[in-house]
Amino acid sequence: MLKRAHRNREKVKVLVELYVQKAQNFSPSRNGAIVFITWKRGTKKSQGDTKSVVVKNGEAEWNEKIQFESKLFIDAVSGRADEKKLTMYIIEKSGKKIGKASVNLATYYENGRGAENVNIPFTLEEKEKDRGKLGSLCIIGSFSFRPLKYNDKSLTKVGNRPTSKDPRLVKTISGVDYFMDKTDSEHSDTTVDTSSVISDSEDKTTFDEISEQDMAPGKEDLQVLQQQIEMLETESFERLST
């Protein structure tokens, strides 16, 4: 059930990729420090750390991707997403937090196109007299979003396949066509029809009954058997008489 704030919204599950190129504008006192980025989006499943790098000349370079799945709630008319926060910290190897950023993913979604040349500013955890000469501490990178589900229906990129020969609905997101598979609650094309299958309770014939029926002789078989017995008795009597 959707929260009241998300009613009348289209739900899109996406794979979010934040490409972190570098952080810049470290204070001179941080040169030589070993730092990493720790991030979290919602639950514990969507969190992690980057590799550790050394700050040189006021910059730390990662060239690393941060990936996680997230559900965005989109206004059908404007294409804008509701607010969704991603929290990041730049931390020294010693554990000391240098700066914090709270990023609204909706700002970079832009109808699913993502954003390049992103500048994410960080708020310093403590006041430093010798902060960077070029401005505030920030991360330089880019955002991309790959749709995975639309209103709980799995999405498959159409590509070069003709849509006219496929019974599935087609949803266009950011100029790209996707087939929409059916949800788990809907009837699947591959569901097996079991209406004609007889259950154990419906089949009243037991194994013992079947065996007795197969083994019991018929009326004609008894007549043949009786004739064979009479013939044997006659032959035996004639042999004794001679």
Tens digits of per-residue pLDDT, 124-177?
A: 876 654 555 546 899 999 999 999 999 999 998 887 766 666 778 888 877 788
Annotate 219-235 with DSSP letters as a single string: HHHHHHHHHHHHHHHHH
- Give the whole-angstrom CA distance, residue 154 versus residue 63: 31
Give residue 73's pLDDT band: very low, low, confident or very high (50, 70, 90): very high
Q: How far is CA 24 from CA 52, 131, 223, 230, in A?
A: 15, 11, 106, 114
Give residue 182's pLDDT band: very low, low, confident or very high (50, 70, 90): confident
19: Cβ–Cβ under 8 A, 6 or more apart, which residues? 63, 64, 65, 66, 141, 142, 143, 144
Give residue 55's pLDDT band: very low, low, confident or very high (50, 70, 90): very high
pLDDT value at position 66? 96
pLDDT value at position 116? 86
- Give the whole-angstrom CA distance, residue 167 versus residue 44: 38
Q: Which of 136, 137, 157 is nearest to 147 (CA)?
A: 157
Check: CB of residue 26 under 8 Å from CB of residue 137: yes
pLDDT of 192-242, one tens digit each? 333 333 333 444 444 344 444 444 555 566 676 677 777 766 665 555 555
* % the chain with pLDDT above 90: 44
Regarding pTM above 0.75, the answer is no
Q: Is 108 left (phi over 0), alpha (psi -120 to 50) or beta?
A: alpha
135: Cβ–Cβ under 8 A, 6 or more apart, which residues? 25
pLDDT value at position 183? 61
pLDDT value at position 111? 58
- Give the whole-angstrom CA distance, residue 221 versus residue 173: 77
